[in-house]
Amino acid sequence: MGLLVVVDSDGLFEINKTLNDLGQILAAQVHTHPGEAYHSETDDHQPIVTLVGGLSLVIPFFAQRGLEAWDDFRWYRLEGYADWRAIDADVEVIVV
Ligand SMILES: [Zn+2]
């Protein structure tokens, strides 16, 4: 089964303009997959977050297992254009 949601360039502009007007930046994105969590080629090349250093969280199985699946969540950080690197959230991410 496949499902793809695409935010077009007008939508991205509106998101970023709205956040900019609020003095905020788009620094993280979250999405889910029907199966295992990983960053697909589409995820790499058509992200909503384009800020270097931005984070991407992928949740497996349409998030049906909630936080019970925490160990199967996958985190990535954007290092450059389409260069998402897997990170260990326990070490790299501090939630405040
Ligand atoms: Zn994905």
Domain residue spans in the chain? 27-92
- Ligand 1 center–CA 52 separation, angstroms: 18
How many Å apart are CA 86 and CA 38, to the nearest integer? 9
Measure 39 CA to ligand 1 centroid, in angstroms.
5
Burial 59-86 (b: 16+ CB within 10 A, else e): bbeeeeeeeeeeeebbbbbbeeeeebee
Note the pLDDT of residue 64: 95
pLDDT in tens, 7-52: 888 998 999 999 999 999 999 999 999 999 999 999 999 899 999 9
Contact between 33 and 41 under an 8 Å Cβ cutoff? The reply is no
Q: How far is the CA of 94 from the centre of ligand 1 (A)?
A: 23
How many angstroms separate the alpha carbon of residue 5 from the centre of ligand 1?
10
Residue with tokens 């991407």: 56
pLDDT at residue 94 tops 70: no
- Longest CA–CA span in the chain (Å) reads 39
